[in-house]
Structure 1
Amino acid sequence: MFIGVDGGGTSTRCVVAGESGEIAGRGRAGGANAISVPDPAANLRAALLGALAGVDPARVAGGVFGLAGVAGATEPAERAWRDAGLAGRPVVVSDVLVAFTGATVEPDGAVLVAGTGAIGARVRARRVVRRADGLGWLLGDEGSGVWLGRRCAAAALNAIDGRGAPTLLVARVAEAVLGAGSAGEDDGPALAGELVAAVYARVAEQGPAWLGTLAPVVDTAAREGDEVARGVVGEAARRLCRTARVVCGEGVPWSGAWARGGGGPLVLAGSLLTEPTELAHLVWAELGRWADLVPARDAAVGAAALALRAALGDDPRAAAAHRALIGQAVR
């Protein structure tokens, strides 16, 4: 049996699979990004134990964890592995690699992820050879859920104090953060103070990933035609597309050189790009002009496929099992 784990900023998924690619167990828990989650090992352990229910741990021959910040993620991954009663050590790779291998059996291509965080990567022979962004909520992750949440809250506050244009985001952010009926007509300064205090408190209590909960607020307002929200989402799309072009080495995005040159598929991953969001609409439309786009599925099966390929090597069964795993993926 082989284990695959995908630990993101807001959730962790785990699958246990046999050597022919059949999935024997699934588990899910909270986020496992060491940058934005206080105790990633606890959530990794919970996902592992959920997937291993009914499976003898002694049958596990190997595992791959796809996690952000590989260097800092190795210790919590190994601790969770031991706590789950598993022998040996798991292999820890980048979360972008398992997102890629969870969507395609091709060895080469690229991947763009926009969920809680955001990153782009070039993949060759199932190894990440180039990356852009993925710098965390404070220094980067441009176009991510956290980035959108920060911009959303800031736009609402700018509208309240007059530095920005009027926007639906004032009422929507107030409702999301403070509860229904929080946005009055004549309480601008008081409302701003309450919002600032509440946002900082939430981040202190739940970590920066909480800001991503505001991403649907700005995306919905953009779909409804709010110009301020449309500006925020449009800027997120431009930044994500720039990240994709950088990792693909594509200087003229509409030339089609990437696809004609056999660059491989460009996998779009993360909830912001795989769900029917306004951001996804903009990014797919732009990148689809020059690349063959493939939607990500379940990165945990990509991690399991890497574990299985590491054990079976060039055995043709590895490719067949990889295809079978992708076919069973759950978005």
Structure 2
Amino acid sequence: MEGIYKGAAVGALFVGVDGGGTSTRCVVVTASGEIAGRGRAGGANAISVPDPVANLRAALLGALEGLDPTRVAGGVFGLAGSARAAEPAERAWREAGLAGRPAVVADVLVAFTGATDQPDGAVLVAGTGAIGARVRDRRVVRRADGLGWLLGDEGSGVWLGRRAAAAALHAIDGRGAPTVLVARVAEAVLGTGAPGEDDGPALTQALVAAVYARVAESGPAWLGTLAPVVDAAAREGDEVARGIVAEAARRLCRTAGVVVGEGTPARGVRAGGGGGPLVLAGSLLTEPTELAHLVRAELGRRAVLMRAGDNAAGAAALAVRSALPGDPRADEAHRVLIEQGGPWG
């Protein structure tokens, strides 16, 4: 990726895009790291979103509003499944009226570079999906999970949503323990509260039909909208919800152990160990969720943790570094773009 935009004219602009399962964020920046424009649209994960090109284009156009597109010297897109995502990214780039083509890298890489200017470390993401990665010299050298909603993404929002819906259905038909998730999931999915004593079969049919219809309409990412439901129930003490969240935390920590220590949890990321920080990214780990509390408590005893900042800014920092390889101005621009990030105490 280095040197793609070397020699870009003074006054050039660079684009950074972070396309997740739920939302796409875009920033346009100067070579000094100043943000000139921002845009946001729906998700851009080709596995779980019906039309990622439209959302990528909308985010680009929003960020470029009022700016001269001919000044754009290049950009970096951070997308899940970067090999498959190159074609949608290039289509959106062209449809936004931009010349050339963007570089497409893994979404986990821009999560890492959006939090730290260090070249090495690891990142654990839990948002709509979930993945861990080891980073060396700002390149992903090892991954764990990130297999999509059907085969993996353990501990993700979609994973939590599926477990919440299943736990509610199990409680209704007697295969699972009683739980407030019955009423909470029903309210979230159907707009109704707790069922009556004889409403079990009817409620089961209504929930199943509604969940399948929502997934067919909006893609599997819709299941992630139920993640806050199970997280809130866990914080209130519901044992079934607490069990779901605890299992999610165990699975995420296992993923982190693979990429951080290449088989040994947290090896190489201790303070002073020289392996770089462990960046926690994704809304489930960066917001004050019960899942974040459990994951931080486990990994924080053994690792130097950093909270992810603006992933789109991390993508833009990579674009600037590509234009100015080895130039200290690129280092400074990177630091400017991640000022909001930092280690947890």
Question: Same fold by TM (over 0.5)?
Answer: yes
Instruction: Tell me whether 1:58 sits opposite 2:73 in the alignment.
Output: no
> Which structure 2 residue ranges, 5 or more long, are not aligned?
1-12
Task: Give % identity.
Answer: 83
Are the aligned partners of 2:17 and 2:27 in contact in 1 as well (CA < 8 Å)?
yes
Q: Hey, what does 1:152 align to over in structure 2?
A: 164
- For residues 257 and 55 of structure 1, the distance between their equivalents in structure 2, rounded to whole angstroms, comes to 41
RMSD of the TM alignment (CA)? 1.3
Displacement of 1:207 in angstroms is 0.4
Are the aligned partners of 1:120 and 1:247 in contact in 2 as well (CA < 8 Å)?
yes
Deviations 1:46-76 (A, max 9, x none): 0000000111011011100000011110001
Q: Hey, what does 1:249 align to over in structure 2?
A: 261
Deviations 1:299-321 (A, max 9, x none): 00000000000000011000000
- For residues 257 and 22 of structure 1, the distance between their equivalents in structure 2, rounded to whole angstroms, comes to 31
> Relative to structure 1, is the Cα distance of residues 255 and 42 closer, same or farther in structure 2, using a 3 angstrom cutoff?
closer
Are the aligned partners of 1:73 and 1:92 in contact in 2 as well (CA < 8 Å)?
yes
Q: Hey, what does 2:216 align to over in structure 1?
A: 204
Q: Hey, what does 1:131 align to over in structure 2?
A: 143
Instruction: State the SS of the aligned residue for 2:149.
Output: helix
Are the aligned partners of 1:253 and 1:289 in contact in 2 as well (CA < 8 Å)?
no
Are the aligned partners of 1:120 and 1:133 in contact in 2 as well (CA < 8 Å)?
yes
Instruction: Tell me whether 1:171 sits opposite 2:178 in the alignment.
Output: no
Displacement of 1:183 in angstroms is 2.3
Are the aligned partners of 2:256 and 2:265 in contact in 1 as well (CA < 8 Å)?
no
> Relative to structure 1, is the Cα distance of residues 212 and 257 closer, same or farther in structure 2, using a 3 angstrom cutoff?
closer
Instruction: State the SS of the aligned residue for 1:218.
Output: helix
Q: Once structures 1 and 2 are overlaid, which stretch shifts more, 184-193 or 120-129?
A: 184-193
Are the aligned partners of 2:257 and 2:266 in contact in 1 as well (CA < 8 Å)?
no
> Which structure 1 residue ranges, 5 or more long, are not aligned?
none
Instruction: State the SS of the aligned residue for 1:136.
Output: coil
Displacement of 1:327 in angstroms is 2.0
Displacement of 1:253 in angstroms is 3.9
Q: Hey, what does 2:334 align to over in structure 1?
A: 322
Instruction: Tell me whether 1:3 sits opposite 2:11 in the alignment.
Output: no
- For residues 258 and 266 of structure 2, the distance between their equivalents in structure 1, rounded to whole angstroms, comes to 14
Q: Hey, what does 2:245 align to over in structure 1?
A: 233
Q: Once structures 1 and 2 are overlaid, which stretch shifts more, 211-220 or 241-250?
A: 241-250
- For residues 290 and 328 of structure 1, the distance between their equivalents in structure 2, rounded to whole angstroms, comes to 24
Deviations 1:169-208 (A, max 9, x none): 0000000000033622321111111111110111011100
Deviations 1:196-250 (A, max 9, x none): 1110111011100000000000000000000000000000000000000001126
Displacement of 1:262 in angstroms is 1.3
Instruction: State the SS of the aligned residue for 2:207.
Output: helix
Higher helix share: 1
Deviations 1:245-303 (A, max 9, x none): 00112655477864442111000000000000000000001000111000001100000
Are the aligned partners of 2:155 and 2:252 in contact in 1 as well (CA < 8 Å)?
yes
Instruction: State the SS of the aligned residue for 2:338.
Output: helix
- For residues 90 and 81 of structure 1, the distance between their equivalents in structure 2, rounded to whole angstroms, comes to 7
> Relative to structure 1, is the Cα distance of residues 257 and 73 closer, same or farther in structure 2, using a 3 angstrom cutoff?
closer
- For residues 18 and 252 of structure 1, the distance between their equivalents in structure 2, rounded to whole angstroms, comes to 41
**Paired letter, 1:190:** A
Q: What aligned pairs does 1:39-54 form with structure 2 within 5 A after superposition?
A: 39-54=51-66
Using the size of structure 1 for normalisation, the TM-score is 0.97
How many correspondences in the alignment? 329
Q: What aligned pairs does 1:12-51 form with structure 2 within 5 A after superposition?
A: 12-51=24-63
**Paired letter, 2:248:** A
Are the aligned partners of 1:67 and 1:93 in contact in 2 as well (CA < 8 Å)?
yes
The structure 2 residue matched to 1:218, chosen from 224, 230, 234, is 230
Q: Hey, what does 1:111 align to over in structure 2?
A: 123
The structure 2 residue matched to 1:77, chosen from 72, 75, 89, is 89
Are the aligned partners of 2:184 and 2:193 in contact in 1 as well (CA < 8 Å)?
no
Instruction: State the SS of the aligned residue for 1:132.
Output: strand
Q: Hey, what does 2:207 align to over in structure 1?
A: 195
Q: Hey, what does 1:101 align to over in structure 2?
A: 113
Deviations 1:147-168 (A, max 9, x none): 0000000000011111110000
Instruction: Tell me whether 1:274 sits opposite 2:281 in the alignment.
Output: no
Displacement of 1:85 in angstroms is 0.7
Are the aligned partners of 1:312 and 1:318 in contact in 2 as well (CA < 8 Å)?
yes
